């Protein structure tokens, strides 16, 4: 991969000497992680999306979870010690993180925010996250993802209504 195409997330991994691979895919506009996983033949369980929230206190938090799952806002708030959290509006994501919707990754945001990754991340030898722009993914080990983001793991998923 040439220097010009590296994202901030990739440069951070390089600086930390963390091994990763990059998957590139064709995409002109935002498509969600489920469609990307389908397009590339990837498991939903080991493909993770990044969501950015704001707490009642005004603090921002990053949650990383499987692409086909939903964030439980109550569990998320409890995990970060907030009364409540809500999703950051799409129009505010770039100003806050430096990334656009569909290219948001927990690595290399403008400021480091407390990050929580769903505990299922530990079940896989490799996981897939956004590469920091639409059309790019980073594949790395869960241990390296946790180390690079300083994240903790927790159960943050909405329970399925059965």
Does 162 have pLDDT greater than 50? no
What percentage of the chain has pLDDT greater than the value 90?
80
Q: What is the pTM of this model?
A: 0.93
Q: What is the pLDDT of residue 39?
A: 87
Higher pLDDT, 38 or 11: 11
| pLDDT for residue 2 | 45
Segment 72-129, tens digit of pLDDT: 999 999 999 999 999 999 999 999 999 988 889 999 999 999 999 999 999 999 999 9
Residue 30 confidence class, pLDDT cut points 50, 70, 90: low
* pLDDT, tens only, 123-160: 999 999 999 998 899 999 999 999 999 999 999 999 87
Domains annotated for the chain, with CATH where assigned, are: 21-154 (3.90.960.10)
- Structure tokens given for 66: 């499987």
């Amino acid at each position: 991969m040439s220097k010009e195409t590296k994202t901030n997330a990739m440069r951070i991994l390089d600086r930390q000497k963390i091994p990763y691979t990059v998957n590139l895919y064709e995409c002109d506009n935002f498509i969600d992680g489920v469609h990307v996983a389908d397009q590339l033949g990837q498991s939903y369980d080991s493909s993770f999306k990044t969501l950015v929230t704001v707490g009642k206190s005004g603090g921002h938090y990053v949650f990383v979870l499987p692409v086909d799952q939903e964030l439980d806002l109550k569990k998320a708030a409890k995990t970060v010690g907030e009364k409540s959290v809500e999703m950051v509006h799409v129009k505010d994501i770039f100003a806050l993180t430096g990334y656009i919707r569909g290219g948001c990754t927990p690595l290399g945001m403008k400021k480091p925010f407390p990050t929580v990754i769903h505990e299922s991340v530990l079940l896989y030898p490799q996981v897939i996250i956004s590469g920091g722009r639409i059309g790019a993914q980073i594949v790395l080990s869960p241990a390296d993802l946790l180390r690079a983001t300083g994240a903790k793991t927790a159960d943050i998923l909405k329970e399925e209504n059965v």
